[in-house]
Structure 1
Amino acid sequence: MPLPFQPRIALFSVLILLALAAWQPVQARVIPDLYEVIEEVPSRGTTDRASASRRGLERVFVRVTGDQDIGSSPQLAPVLEKAQNYLQVYRYKTEDNQLYLHLAYDPRAVNDLVHQLKLPLWPANRPGTLVWIAVDTLQNGRDSLRQEDYPELFGLLDGIAAERGLPLDFPVMDLNDQRNMPLGSLWAQDEAAAQRAGVRYSSDATLMGRLLQTSGQRWQANWLLIHGGRSYAFDARGDSMEEVALRGVNEAANVLAERYAVSTGESDGVASAVLVEIAGIDSFSDYTRATQYLQELAQVSSAEVLAVSGDCLTVSLTTATPMASLRDALALNRNLKHADEGPMDLTGYRAPLGSAQNPLRYTWR
């Protein structure tokens, strides 16, 4: 029986909303499940749970520090042996006759351990990365990879991205994408084309890969990561397309972790005050969101509001982080738009960036 007119309209509206929700532009985002993992276990026994807890905590440390080799660190070994002490909750589930253990670790306890061990801390606010891949096989030649044509490969890429805590997205490869990023431009790793094609996705970072089959069992790949006005090139070799693809995403995570990880050990830098001015604060909600964001930045030890004048908020940030790293972190917040620099001082003198005379200037949007 057909639906009455009004319910059909309502259903159509819901479907539209769901479709819009499913397509979100890529952007820096807070990763909510950095401290949760799922492990296969042979039984519900205590020994198997302890082993799974150890493996799970090691995976969490890889995500939180950004160091894929952290598990081999001798200083981490005693912590991993007591992994169950840092669990918040665990539960079992069975799928296709396989038993799984879902483990959720205490974020505060893990972060405290990171500080105690003086390990790097990669904050949970991470750059959304848009991935374009082209492949050249001996049998079929050169083509762009589409998610619907290679679901297993893209599933593996999603898996390694989850293991590293890197928010990863793929273009839909519709006619717009094919026009903005033609195969020739993708294979050439054309940065200008990547910028044009990425506009619709509002990506923070772009990763382009070209995968070449050199023989029946040998592959090589060239990767280019574009982010924050910089480009990083790296290569991969392996026995399969999947292997060189996974290595590309893994290396991109290494690069971004190195850029954004915060040192928690003894720093040679001296904590100093950096002044930030944010215009466009038009409501108490804007004020609350802006100040809370600054106070929660991992790169900042304290944030003090100095003045509110009209729609302009002035905040003093205490940080030992280099200025370039602090600005990189601030650039990840889409609500902060970097304001144009002031006119050039032709006298040859300019106050240091971040000082009262030359604060970091942003607009809240």
Structure 2
Amino acid sequence: MKLNVLVPIVAICSLFFSMSSMALSEMSPYQGVVPADNSTEAQLQEKALEQVFIKVSGNADINKLEGSNALDSQLSSIMSEFGYKTVDNKSYYYANFDKANIDDAIRAMKQPIWSDGRPEVLIWLLNENKKLTSESMIGGELSSGLLEGELTRGISTQFPLMDLDDALAISEADVGGRFYQTMGQAASRYGTNTYVAANLTNLGNDQWELKWDLVEYTAANKKSEVIIKQVSNGNKTSVMSAMISEIADYYADKFAVLETTGEKTTQTITIKNITSFQDIIKINALLENLNAVESFEVVNMTETEVELLISLKGGIKSLTNALNSHSKLQQNLITPSPFDYNWQP
């Protein structure tokens, strides 16, 4: 019995958007969004395509590779929607590209494909006044730097509300002192286990220093792992954009899948704590949308657990990273198998 026949997967894509109200995590990596400067529309289409190559492959230098211009002559046929949008008095050009054509071109360049596992990173930022930055305080050069990095690399960020709940859970001293467990526990409110702890300092003459750590927090064992520790210098826009780019490099290395040729690798996984048929439907949808998964089928099922045989596009590491990134799947730490999970309803 194949699990993926239980329910159709419906893809919903929003073609018209407002960047001020729509989370970038909801935007497809196959949508290019570039500033509408004095370039011609043909040039803007090429820039949008180049941006999509970067976002889908996770490689910031992919457009330097041979074959990166292979689709330039087919732009009109591989775009499903395009147009202009004004945000904060700035005009943007956007274009949606056909996934199959983009993926084929990236594979031809022997590059990986990163279509899932895109985190929304929470940022605990101490600004130049040593105050925690809330979502409502984002603007100006800070906003420009974040937007530039997010649009180019296809990941999104969020800032805390800094309301009463946050004020009771975290303080400026916690961020400045890098009390990772406190920050991790406070971040769980925002549905993420990934956060940045950062300090922004004004050096004068439009020069800024950004000290930041990328941290992954595991609530089950209350452990924090510092993934990146970095110091950047430059204007405010550039240091924020550079931070986003480095975070994207890390996640692209973790989640982008370089497809193997020949016989596919397979791996059996077990998912326990299933309580209803709706859980099965949700598991089906989750696996259908994992870029690391070629196909899957049920090999054993009871009322409370399911055992699946998964055929992989890439290696085992890609599958492990993809599964462990989902909050609905909690690795069973009391068993020796790394592919034994509990489903979180």
Q: What's the TM-score bracket when you normalise by the shorter of the two chains?
A: 0.7 to 0.9
Give, in whole Å, the separation in 1 of the partners of 2:62 and 2:123: 26
Give, in whole Å, the separation in 2 of the partners of 1:201 and 1:325: 26
* Selected match of 1:233 from 210, 228, 231: 228
Residue 282 of structure 1 pairs with residue 267 of structure 2: no
Render the CA deviation track for 1:209-265: whole Å, top value 9, x for unaligned. 112223333322211001265312343433323322222122111111111111136
Give, in whole Å, the separation in 1 of the partners of 2:88 and 2:225: 45
Equivalent residue, structure 1, for 2:190: 201
Match of 1:77, SS state, is: coil
Equivalent residue, structure 2, for 1:79: 71
Return the TM-score normalized by structure 1.
0.76
Alignment of 1:4-19 (within 5 A): none
Equivalent residue, structure 1, for 2:205: 216
Return the TM-score normalized by structure 2.
0.80
Residue 183 of structure 1 pairs with residue 176 of structure 2: no
* Selected match of 1:33 from 11, 14, 28: 28
* Selected match of 1:361 from 335, 341, 345: 341
Alignment of 1:253-332 (within 5 A): 253-264=248-259, 271-319=264-312, 321-332=314-325
Q: Which amino acid aligns with 2:251?
A: L
Please identify, of 310-319 and 52-61, the stretch whose mean Cα deviation from structure 2 is larger: 310-319
Give, in whole Å, the separation in 1 of the partners of 2:57 and 2:46: 16
Give, in whole Å, the separation in 2 of the partners of 1:114 and 1:95: 31
CA contact (8 A) 1:177 1:197 kept: yes
Render the CA deviation track for 1:94-129: whole Å, top value 9, x for unaligned. 789987643211122212222222211112342221
Gaps of 5+ in 2: 1-20, 218-223
Quickly say closer, same or farther: Cα 1:108–1:134, change in 2 above 3 A: same
Give, in whole Å, the separation in 2 of the partners of 1:324 and 1:38: 31
CA contact (8 A) 1:209 1:248 kept: no
Give, in whole Å, the separation in 2 of the partners of 1:215 and 1:91: 40
Per-residue deviation, 1:206: 0.5
Residue 247 of structure 1 pairs with residue 227 of structure 2: no
Quickly say closer, same or farther: Cα 1:32–1:295, change in 2 above 3 A: same
Quickly say closer, same or farther: Cα 1:279–1:218, change in 2 above 3 A: same
Q: Which amino acid aligns with 1:34?
A: P
Q: Which amino acid aligns with 2:225?
A: R
Equivalent residue, structure 2, for 1:113: 105
Equivalent residue, structure 2, for 1:333: 326
CA contact (8 A) 2:142 2:236 kept: no
Give, in whole Å, the separation in 2 of the partners of 1:111 and 1:224: 32
Quickly say closer, same or farther: Cα 1:284–1:104, change in 2 above 3 A: same
Q: Which amino acid aligns with 2:199?
A: R
Give, in whole Å, the separation in 2 of the partners of 1:177 and 1:120: 39
Give, in whole Å, the separation in 1 of the partners of 2:188 and 2:82: 41
Give, in whole Å, the separation in 2 of the partners of 1:100 and 1:127: 24
* Selected match of 2:80 from 84, 88, 97: 88
Give, in whole Å, the separation in 1 of the partners of 2:142 and 2:272: 41
Residue 55 of structure 1 pairs with residue 51 of structure 2: no
Give, in whole Å, the separation in 2 of the partners of 1:134 and 1:316: 47
Q: Which amino acid aligns with 2:113?
A: L
Q: Which amino acid aligns with 2:259?
A: T
Match of 1:197, SS state, is: helix
Percent identity reads 20
